[in-house]
A and B are shown apart, each in its own frame.
Chain A
Amino acid sequence: MENEFLIFDYIDGKLSPQQEEAFFNLLSQNEELRTEFKQQLALKTAFTKDLHTFVPSPETTMSLFSKMGIGAGVGAATSTLVNTSPSLFSKIVTFIGSTAFKSVAVTLLTAGITFFGLLKYEVIEWYDEEGNTTKNLTVNKVNETPKPQEINANNNLNGGVSSDDQEQQIKIVEKIVDRNKFIFTFDTLKLSGNEKIKAIEFFNSLKNENTQSDIVENNLIEIDNASINPLKPNFSFNPNFSINNERYNSPILNLSNFNIDLPISVEYTNALQKSMLSNNNDININRDYSGLLNSRISLFYNHNSQFQFGVEYRSEDFFQEFNIIDGSGRLLTYYQQPEFNLVSGVFRYLPNFSKFNISFLEFEPFVLASYGADLSGGGIVARAGAGLNCYVSDNVYVQALYDYSNLNFKQGDMNYNSRKTGLNLGIGWNFNK
C-alpha cells in the first residue's frame, strides 16, 4: 500500500524533488513496482479518456440553460457592458467614414433620380401672389380674350366676377384658385378624385354666390369631357413671383397637375447612422458594406391624412451574439453581423395637430411601428420610430426617421435579441396629397 501511495503521489505531482529521486531509485531496483507504476499510469490515462465521454451533450446544456432562462439574457447582459461613448472627433471620423458617406451618397443619388424623373413627366407651374391677393383666377369667356379677375383669397371670392362678366357666358375655366388656394388647372389635365371634389365644391360655392351657376356647372362637365393631352406641359412664369406662405403654394414645384390620385405613398430611405445596441465595445466587425445595405422601401395606403398602413422592405444588418455548445461540449460565443432582408407590416400616425408650415415647406411629424420577418427565416423584427416628413412640393417629401429595431432570432432552442437604433434619411412620394 505504501508503494502504491508513492505511485499515486508521483502521478498526482505531490512528491518533492527528494521524494521523486528516492522513488526513481526504488523503481530502478524493483521490477514489480515498475509494472505497478506502468499499470497505474495506464489506468490514469483510461480515467482521463473516460472522463471525456461525460462532456454534457449540447442538448443537455441547452435544455439546462433554457430552464434557467439563460441565453436570451446573455445578449442583454453584454449590451449593458457598452458603457464608453466615443469622442466627438471619433464620431465625426465615423460619420465621414465610408459607410455613412455611401449612405448619404446613395440617398442623394436616389433623390436626384426621383426628382429628375418627376421633372421629366411633370408640369411645373409657377404662380404669383402679391401680398394676400392672388391673381390666378382667370375666367375665359366664349370667343373672347381671357380676362383676369382679381379675387381676394380672404374674401371668399366675393366680387370675384364683375357685373360685365355676369352677362357673358363662361365657356372654359383655365385656372381657379379657391379660398383654400388649391390650384385647379382644367385646361391641361383631367381632374379626378379629391381635386375634382374640390372643384365641384368650388363651383357650388360660385353657384351660391353668383347668378351664373348653371353656366359654371355646364362648363365643368364640358371641361371634364374635353380631349386633353395629359403630357402637354403647361409652363407659365410670372416675374412677379414671391413666396407664398400658404400650403401647396410651393415655389419649387407644383405637381398637382400630375395627379394619379391613388391613396398611396412610396418611400425610400437609407440609414445614415446606426448604433448596434448589442455590440460589445471590444468586438468590432468591419465589413465592406455596399451602399444599398441598410436601405428601406415602403409602400403605404393612406387611410386618411393621419393614418397610414403599409409594407416595407429593408435590407439591413444586425450585430448578433449567441452561444453554441460544440461537439466536445465547449461553450462558444459567436459574433457576427449578417445582412437581413426583412419585410414588415407598418402602421404610421401623422397627427394633424402636429403639422406645421415654415415658409412654403410643410412638415408632418409622425410615429410609426412595424412588425415583420426576415425572408430567409433569420428572425422576427419589431420596430418603433419617430420622424418628420417635409413636403417640398405637393407630392414629394424628404424624410428623416429615427427608429429602434429589435431582432429576435433563434439558435438551437435558445432565443436571442439584437437591437439597434438608427437615423434614416430619404425621399417619399404621396400620390394623393
Chain B
Amino acid sequence: MQKDFSKYSDADLALIISEKGIHAEKAFMEVYKRYSTGINAYCTKILNDRITAEDIFQETFIKFYESVNPKVNTNIAGFLVTIARNLCLNHKRNRKQKVDITEMEFLSYDVQNYENVQMLEFVNTAVDLLDDEYKEALILREYNNMEYDEIAQVLNITAINAKTRVCRAKKKVKELLKPYLKEITN
C-alpha cells in the first residue's frame, strides 16, 4: 500500500528523510507541502526581494533535506525557519537593507473595500516597515504559525519576550493601517 505521509508527524517525516530511503523523497514532499508557504513568506518579507528570496527559499529546503537529523531537529518548522533565517542573515550582511518610507504614501489612497487586493499590499508594506526584530517575530507567528516558545527558540529570546514582540508588531501594523481598519470596523 502507498503510504499516506500527510498523517505522519513532523518527527516521523524527519526520520524518514534522514534515512534517505525509498520514501525519503515523498516524505520531503510532505514537509514541503506543509511549510513551503510560510518559509517563502519569511524569506520574501525578511529580504524584501522576491528573486533573492526564491534562491534562499530553495537553498533552505535543500539544506534541510541534506542535514535534517531526527534526534536534534524534532521541530521541523523551527529547523526550517532557523536555516532560512541564517541564510537571510548571511545575505543581509552583504546588503544594507533600505526601506523607503515614501512607500507608505500610497496608504493615503482612498480604499473603501477591505477585500481589495491593494489592501494586501498595504499589509505587506506595513510589515516591511517594522523593525527587524518585530517583523521577524510577527512573520513567524502569523505566517509560519509558530508558537511563542518556538519563536523564542529560533530568535533565542524568552517566550514572554516573543509574545511581546508579536504584540508590539501587530500594534505597529495596526497603527499604520488605522484609516483602513477604521473603515472595516465601522
Contacts and interface: CB of A to CB of B under 8 A. Distances in A.
Interface of A: 1, 4-5, 8, 35, 38-40, 42-44, 46-56, 60-61, 63-64, 67-68, 70, 73-74, 77-78, 80-81, 280-283, 323, 329-331
Contacts of B3: 81
A63 B36 CA distance: 14
Q: How many interface residues does chain B have, given as a range?
A: 35 or more
A51 B143 contact: yes
B28 A39 contact: no
Contact of B174 (A5, A43, A60): A43
A282 B1 contact: yes
Interface in B1-33: 1-3, 22-23, 25-26, 28-29, 32-33
Given A67-B62, A68-B65, A61 B25 contact: no
B124 interface: yes
B36 A56 contact: yes
Contact of A51 (B37, B62, B184): B37
B174 A68 contact: no
Contacts of B152: none
Interface stretch (B88-96, B103-111, B163-171): B163-171
List the 4 shortest-distance A-B pairs measured between CB atoms, nearest first.
Answer: A54-B41, A38-B185, A47-B142, A39-B181
B25 A74 contact: yes
Contact of B25 (A1, A77, A281, A330): A77
B124 to A, nearest CB: 6
Interface string B57-70: 11001100100000
A46 B120 contact: yes
A70 B170 CA distance: 39
Given A4-B167, A60-B54, A329 B36 contact: yes
A68 B62 CA distance: 7
B26 A74 contact: yes
A301 to B, nearest CB: 43
Contacts of B57: 56, 60, 64
B65 to A, nearest CB: 6
Chain A binding surface, main DSSP class: helix
26 contacts: A8-B163, A39-B174, A42-B185, A46-B114, A46-B177, A47-B142, A50-B143, A51-B37, A53-B120, A54-B37, A56-B57, A60-B57, A67-B58, A67-B62, A68-B62, A68-B65, A70-B28, A73-B25, A74-B26, A77-B22, A77-B25, A80-B22, A280-B2, A281-B1, A282-B2, A331-B29
Given A40-B174, A43-B177, A64-B58, A81 B2 contact: yes
A38 B184 contact: yes
A55 B40 contact: yes
B143 to A, nearest CB: 5
B180 to A, nearest CB: 9
A56 B185 contact: no
B159 interface: no
B123 interface: yes
A73 B124 CA distance: 38
A392 to B, nearest CB: 46
B25 to A, nearest CB: 5
A54 B184 contact: no
A50 B44 contact: no
A330 to B, nearest CB: 7
Contacts of A47: 123, 142-143
A154 B165 CA distance: 106
A60 B50 CA distance: 11
Given A42-B181, A74-B26, A331 B120 contact: no
Contacts of A283: 2
A38 B25 CA distance: 44
Contacts of B28: 68, 70
Contacts of B65: 68
A414 to B, nearest CB: 12
Nearest to A281: B1
B117 to A, nearest CB: 9
Nearest to B170: A43
Contact of B167 (A1, A56, A329): A1
A126 B10 CA distance: 79
Contacts of A1: 167
B119 interface: yes
Contacts of A46: 114, 119-120, 123, 177
A81 B26 CA distance: 12
Given A64-B58, A281-B1, A55 B185 contact: no
B173 interface: yes
